[in-house]
Amino acid sequence: MCTDEFYGLGRAEAEALGLITLPIVVVEHPMGGLRPDEVHERATQAVEEIVRALTVAREVLAEENRNRVVETRRRVRDKPLFA
């Protein structure tokens, strides 16, 4: 599970670890700084996808996620390491 901003990183990490078919549940970014009721709302929205990731055949999920694209609003900005 990760936020939409970090889906690409999560997918790359899963593939680097040999978990190419790992389903990744995505929630809206950011999670930090949210009130408990907002976190609860996002968790509630993700429950169906979490259950599906745990119960649907791996082959089916792999096919669905093979070319998955997650749209973001690009809230995280690249910053130079050495300014």
22-36 pLDDT, tens digit each? 999 999 999 999 999
Burial class (CB in 10 A: 0-12, 13-18, 19+), 31: middle
- Tokens 């990744």 found at: 24
Give the number of other CB atoms < 10 A from CB of residue 24: 19
The pLDDT tens digits of the residues spanning 2-19 come to 999 999 999 999 999 999
Worst-scoring range by mean pLDDT, 30-39, 40-49, 74-83?
74-83
Q: Which pLDDT does position 65 carry in this prediction?
A: 85
Peptide linkage before 30 cis (omega within 30 of 0): yes
Domain spans in the chain, listed from the N-terminal domain onward:
2-65
pLDDT per residue over 65-77, tens digit each? 888 888 887 666 6
- Determine the distance from the C-alpha atom of residue 53 to the mean position of all C-alpha atoms in its chain, rounded to a whole number: 12
